[in-house]
Structure 1
């Protein structure tokens, strides 16, 4: 029992230290995360003049003609297009990916450009950059990854410290104590809200880690080694078919007609062939991941060369894509509300921790919780730290540096307590 009390004190100390360092960043991440959830609504209002056109009674121009208009306008030739879902939609032609993505919109009735949307110039793109890399590029990405890694530690240590040791009581563990003073109230708000969203926070963090530099790259390597990513032919590499002499590629309108006949769920895209032996590829983006497909077609005959179903994607990639979509609230209203609530509660939880600390902090020191000198770390705890350090390398490096700094102090001071 005494050892458990000492362990509790030791974990409380590390929860406290990591919280002091991480909280300013966590507040920023929660605010920017909540703002980014409104991306679709914000951009729908901002971009409606570009994306929506007046439906005219005159004949609609062919997609082949619209493609030509987009090619003439584009700096970098489009590599795909979005199949319009209704008559009032401008046709979107896309070049580039991620931050380099550019979308050109063509009025199908007048054969003119209605506008261009450059991903890196939008307000929400800047919010995303602030959320993912603090506007500091690769260095900022690593800071965010480090904070996210320590958030896992905060959740684990917080649950252990919060867990009742002398029986359960509704007040203090499930309901804040409003009559025990401000410090206790803010402490309860922090601890109780942290308990209720702890599992959600771990899911949110799991959905964010694939975007990181170190963990993300290591995860990709594991996918490659275990062959649990996208199939090798997903992007059309390695696919081949016979080409007859003087055979001409099918017009884009024929491929659009084939795509419409497939009646795929969600937003349907057509990816243009790369070279004379490349394929047209039809894919769809849907909130129901199980319905996503990618079908490669012979660009001369329209025959299917390769069909990819979601079930053919490796299990780690499927898990990764599900968690990333969940992280962004893309599975419908329930998911969006859940992410919004988690972000708001995380902000309030962090803010209440700061208020609680400010009310209890001694004037002459940081108020770091003390640990009995007789406390010895279990091999189990060491094993957990090592395991977490392997899974989250930036946490492992930072933990080693912190421990080394404590032991270096031992040259000048008595036994350091880590």
Structure 2
């Protein structure tokens, strides 16, 4: 016969308080560290969602044309573009996605890479801009912080992992515990802290899944996790179908080395080599023929064609469109015109398709305007969550102190949480290690340094 003592409910209550405080403290520290990064991601991400509208509105002079008769050939357009920058060489050609769009030629020279926008009907050069100066490229690089170097790019990867932690811990903190407000309603007025607490909690609760999705689907672009995930998928037959390259000579270049845009799954896939023996007896088929072959094989409008830079190179046509079923990469022998590799979305393994789908939704492309507005609303929710978090903290902080949530009454509660952090660190090493360092600092340094303990209280 067992006996329930009064100490057992008290111990359960103490464990509950300790767990709540530990998670609240984690949530606070994670938010404190990543709010600036999340604001950057939300603002630049919003801009990138509307890149087509921005191009048409602010840069229409380089993107929009009036159809007039038959379009010039790709080779002629590439020649016109090269003449706009003497000493340069055309490295890729972008087929107009619509009759009302310009053709874009990428040039390479000692001064760097540049984009030349050409009216495909009359051959007029509409604009010349450095590849790294183009507005959407700059926005994308600031979005990932790669614009400022490798270290900052790693920080944004850590922030992405922290965003997932914030969602999970935030849902735990929001979870109803007999309170009458702050679950689906907002109490008080803007002058009271409870108003901002409830607005923060309700916004996070309703947008949490979408914020988690944005953080997760953004990971493939990260410098460390993304590169290693791509390599692991390819090594285990879960990325691009490596068997397609079994009987094809391969170069040391990968798809992203020769094209400005390609699908994530194939960007690290090796570029095949043209038949070098044919170089002794034949002539290259030329850009016109390569573009014609791509179209004949069903490549949808708007594809890019990489132009061979040497006698072993290939013409590579690639399309990363709004409609994933049209995503495709085609490598063509520059002498025979033979398709060496032809891979489309329907040939990707399940995980490859899932990642590409996630990327497409992340960029607001999968379901048209609805997808675009849904991701924009999620970005607004991130901004609102960040702003309400800062205001809520500012209203509750004690004078002269940071106002960190108190440590849990029972430090042993961290043991189980350490296991969870360890699992997370394996899945997302950069973010996981940062969390380990954060908790170690909190538990080892702060606990035993009186000044820090006072400030971080």
Same fold, TM-score > 0.5, yes or no: yes
Q: Which residue of 2 aligns with 1:69?
A: 80
Q: Which residue of 2 aligns with 1:337?
A: 373
When residues 312 and 164 of structure 1 are mapped into structure 2, their CA distance, relative to the original with a 3 A threshold, is same
The answer on 1:21 being equivalent to 2:33 is: yes
Q: Which residue of 2 aligns with 1:43?
A: 55
TM-score (norm 2): 0.78
Q: Which residue of 2 aligns with 1:280?
A: 315
C-alpha RMSD over aligned residues? 3.3
> SS in structure 1 opposite 2:79?
helix
When residues 385 and 136 of structure 1 are mapped into structure 2, their CA distance, relative to the original with a 3 A threshold, is same
The answer on 1:312 being equivalent to 2:344 is: no
Distance 1:413 1:244 in 2: 75
Distance 1:313 1:303 in 2: 22
Q: Which residue of 2 aligns with 1:161?
A: 173
8 Å CA contact 2:305, 2:317 repeated in 1: yes
- Cα deviation digits, residues 83-128 of structure 1 (max 9, x gap): 23555544322247xxx76322334444453322333213443333
Distance 1:175 1:396 in 2: 34
When residues 87 and 130 of structure 1 are mapped into structure 2, their CA distance, relative to the original with a 3 A threshold, is closer
The answer on 1:189 being equivalent to 2:207 is: no
> SS in structure 2 opposite 1:363?
coil
Select between 329-338 and 376-385 the one with higher mean Cα deviation.
376-385
The answer on 1:230 being equivalent to 2:265 is: no
Q: Which residue of 2 aligns with 1:120?
A: 132
Distance 1:376 1:250 in 2: 71
TM-score (norm 1): 0.85
Q: Which residue of 1 aligns with 2:254?
A: none
The answer on 1:353 being equivalent to 2:364 is: no
8 Å CA contact 2:272, 2:314 repeated in 1: no
Q: 1:398 aligns with which of 434, 440, 456?
A: 434
When residues 155 and 277 of structure 1 are mapped into structure 2, their CA distance, relative to the original with a 3 A threshold, is same
Distance 1:363 1:119 in 2: 50
> SS in structure 1 opposite 2:340?
strand
Aligned residues: 411
The answer on 1:255 being equivalent to 2:272 is: no
Select between 198-207 and 376-385 the one with higher mean Cα deviation.
376-385
Select between 16-25 and 153-162 the one with higher mean Cα deviation.
16-25
Distance 2:96 2:73 in 1: 13
8 Å CA contact 2:186, 2:198 repeated in 1: yes
Q: Which residue of 1 aligns with 2:220?
A: 210
Q: Give how far 1:203 is off.
A: 0.8
Select between 267-276 and 201-210 the one with higher mean Cα deviation.
267-276
When residues 110 and 386 of structure 1 are mapped into structure 2, their CA distance, relative to the original with a 3 A threshold, is same
Select between 272-281 and 239-248 the one with higher mean Cα deviation.
239-248
Q: Give how far 1:200 is off.
A: 0.6
Q: Give how far 1:196 is off.
A: 0.8
Q: Give how far 1:279 is off.
A: 3.5
Q: Which residue of 2 aligns with 1:407?
A: 444
Structure 1: stretches of 5+ with no match in the other structure = none
- Cα deviation digits, residues 123-159 of structure 1 (max 9, x gap): 4433333322185322221222222222222111111
